[in-house]
Amino acid sequence: MNIVSPPSRELLRLVTRVDFATGRLAAARPAALNTEWEAPRHAWCLSNLVLRHEDAVLTLARTDQVLVPAAWGAARAAMEIAGRALWLTMPEDPWVRERRWLVFVDEAARFHDRMATDANSGHEEAKGISTFAAEVRAKLPPGDPVHGIPSTTEMLTPYGKGLPALYALCSQYVHGADAAVSQWRRGLGNTAAYGEQVKSWEFATPIMIAWQAFRATAVTLMRVCGVRAGFDLALLEGQISAARDDLEATRLTRDNS
């Protein structure tokens, strides 16, 4: 692979600090498996999926600055999956969390049924999942039913009014919309300038989105399971924020020269 634009010193510093903090948080989560409740276990799996998308963002940033469009796509995935994990673990009542978990089981049954329909075989697996969910529901104590998984916007809004807008920005890179093509085109019509125009500071937002997505799932899991971090997370976050500020400051210096 030919490197088009090697990562800047500031970008590598941010990647290193995020990677270190991520490793510390990741090591604190396995307690979620030491439970009889299904919801925290499923949230642990979702948190792992977020972690791998974050790993992808950091790997792209270490490799070549022109890979930032792919980083936005991975950041979007991390944000969406984190929203599902947070929605699942939000209730304080563990029985409510279990009802929400069963909605994910229902989703799995529908997926296998749809795939089986396309292949014209394999409906037994979908039926088995649906039967399992029904048997579990029959054993739950009385409570309000959960009718489905909310939209990504609905899941993210409780954690910040600006998150749906960030999700929409990430989606531009998945759907090939205008914000995404700005890496190769600035302006319109006769004034448009074409060519590779990526800057190192453009990696700052997808990195921070992916980091915050994983951080949110890890911290929530630790809360649900009654686990303490065992290290100064605020200190690590301060170091990450300082590195991000240094990277974004290049927007006003050499990256615009």
Segment 201-243, tens digit of pLDDT: 999 999 999 999 999 999 999 999 888 888 899 999 999 999 9
More confident residue, 96 or 181: 96
More confident residue, 68 or 226: 68
DSSP state of 4: S
Question: Strand (E) positions, the chain?
Answer: 185-186, 193-194
pLDDT at 254: 60
Out of 103-117, 190-204, 208-222, the most confident range is: 208-222
pLDDT at 13: 98
Is the confidence at residue 244, as pLDDT, over 90?
yes
pLDDT at 257: 37
The residues, any chain, with a CB within 8 Å of residue 46's CB and separated by 6 or more, are 81, 82, 84, 85, 88, 217
Tell me the pLDDT band of 245, cut-offs 50, 70 and 90.
very high
DSSP state of 190: G
The pLDDT > 90 percentage for the chain reads 68
In the predicted model, what is the mean pLDDT of residues 32-36? 82
Backbone angles phi, psi at 213, to 5 degrees: -65, -45
In the predicted model, what is the mean pLDDT of residues 64-79? 96
The residue written with tokens 């300082």 in the block is 242
Q: How far is CA 217 from each of CA 78, 86, 93, 154, 211, rounded to the nearest angstrom? A: 10, 6, 18, 17, 10
Give how far the C-alpha of residue 43 lies from the chain's centroid of Cα atoms, to the nearest Å: 12
Q: Which residues share a beta bridge with 193?
A: 186
| pTM (2 d.p.) | 0.91
Is the confidence at residue 256, as pLDDT, over 70?
no
Separation between Cα atoms, residue 257 and residue 248, nearest integer Å: 15
Domain boundaries, the chain: 9-256
The H or E element containing residue 159 is: none
Report the chain's mean pLDDT, rounded to a whole number: 91
The residue written with tokens 């990741």 in the block is 26
pLDDT at 83: 96
